[in-house]
Structure 1
Amino acid sequence: MSTPLKIDFVSDVSCPWCIIGLRGLTEALDQLGTEVQAEIHFQPFELNPEMPAIGQNIVEHITEKYGSTPEQSQANRERIRDMGAALGFAFRTDGQSRIYNTFDAHRLLHWAGLEGLQYNLKEALFKAYFTDGRDPSDHATLAIIAESVGLDLKRAAQILASDEYATEVREQEQLWTSRGVTSVPTIVFNDQYAVSGGQPVEAFIGAIRQIIEEAKN
């Protein structure tokens, strides 16, 4: 008997720990197999909602926001790179990389959710930014990424040129913030249990099994 599991994955496309968390979660779901019938919904969170269109150098940004030295910033990137490699994801960000505004990427993800291609677009956006060094705030880039996962190129361009889904994304962002989400990834199971951070596979398996047990009782 498979237990239904609703998963809200609150994240940003420019957050490396979100990839590590997502890989850990999907691997856990693979290992749990038929024990659960999971449905993942990606929910928007902007790490840098005030970021201007031109973006900012990653080292500068991390220094300003977290007070890290360039050395700490590099050590952290290397750690993330190693963790990503172990999970089959190539992080290629370096000291020249930039941080961008991700609001339009979240609007496209909202649309992709309506089209049943949200997961594919999320993965493609992660790869475009972290592996290929592309700009997730650039409309032409976003439309091409959308097309690469089977979404309509013209429709994507149309959405990006307008403010379609802006209200929905802002409402979702406010909802999750009002529920106490302050950092990402935050993974919420069945609207009641939250796991945060780029957790390893075992942590997700343990949490999900516990939720299954409680659902049975």
Structure 2
Amino acid sequence: MTKPNAPLRIDIASDVMCPWCIIGYLQLAHALEATGTAHEIHWHPFELNPEMPADGQNMREHIIEKYGSTPEQSEASRRQMTEVGKGLGFEFSFADDMRMHNTFNVHQLLHWAEQQGRMHDLKLALFEAHFTHRRDLSDNNILAEEAAGIGLDKSEALAILEDQRFADEVRSVEHFWLQQGVRGVPAVVFDRQHLVTGAQGVDNYTRILEQLNEMSS
């Protein structure tokens, strides 16, 4: 239980390939601001497609294949996400040639950024790189450029991706969250004990935060 006046710990398992992860985070961020909740956010790795090859798969084909969606349903979903994103200040630039990618290297880069206190900034930059600018996050050079874009060392970013020095640690953290029963993202854990899965909307997140604030007061 959070001590009175202590920041609320929020753990978020997510993947930068997941559009609902950035939507859910921004909804939560709006709710945190509206309620004035002191908080600390901790991001954790989750791979939507751990078996996906490095070069990935066309995003629309992948969604249709994985979830059984029709092309019409896929298009409607993209329109919905684009509108929701716009309302939250985020631009989705979906295109027919967009691809899903394996994100194991992404999570290793984020793990490295966390050691320098910059995981949050890099996480948001990578969401924007993928969904707004349609950058290929399976390309280590592009990942290193994104790291450099928030002020991290580009050559060091490339080095950690090439030698895979954080591979075991990232796999261990991924395994931990799977053991906790997380099978879909975003998975948000408040105060280490209240799990909420999926983008809940600003109003629902606001109610959750109000209840947690009452419990800790």
**Offset at 1:142?**
0.1
**Offset at 1:14?**
0.4
Residues in 2 aligned to 1:154 and 1:95: alpha-carbon distance in whole angstroms: 33
Per-residue CA deviations over 1:67-91 (Å, capped at 9, x if unaligned) read 1111111111111011001111000
Structure 1: gaps of 5 or more residues = none
The residue that corresponds to 2:84 in the other structure is 83
State the TM-score, normalizing by the size of structure 2: 0.95
Residues in 1 aligned to 2:5 and 2:42: alpha-carbon distance in whole angstroms: 19
The residue that corresponds to 1:4 in the other structure is 7
For the pair 1:19 / 2:15, whether they are aligned, the reply is no
The residue that corresponds to 1:61 in the other structure is 62
Residues in 2 aligned to 1:112 and 1:60: alpha-carbon distance in whole angstroms: 32
Residues in 2 aligned to 1:112 and 1:62: alpha-carbon distance in whole angstroms: 30
**Offset at 1:24?**
0.8
Per-residue CA deviations over 1:141-200 (Å, capped at 9, x if unaligned) read 000000101111111011011111111111111111111111000100111001111121
Residue identity in the other structure for 1:24: Q
Residue identity in the other structure for 1:101: N
Seq. identity, %: 49
**Offset at 1:213?**
2.2
Secondary structure of the residue that 1:208 maps to in structure 2? helix
The equivalences for 1:167-186 within 5 A come to 167-186=168-187
Structure 2: gaps of 5 or more residues = none
**Offset at 1:48?**
0.4
Residues in 2 aligned to 1:25 and 1:67: alpha-carbon distance in whole angstroms: 29
Residues in 1 aligned to 2:95 and 2:199: alpha-carbon distance in whole angstroms: 20
The equivalences for 1:143-158 within 5 A come to 143-158=144-159
The residue that corresponds to 1:122 in the other structure is 123
CA contact (8 A) 1:3 1:212 kept: no
Residue identity in the other structure for 1:91: F
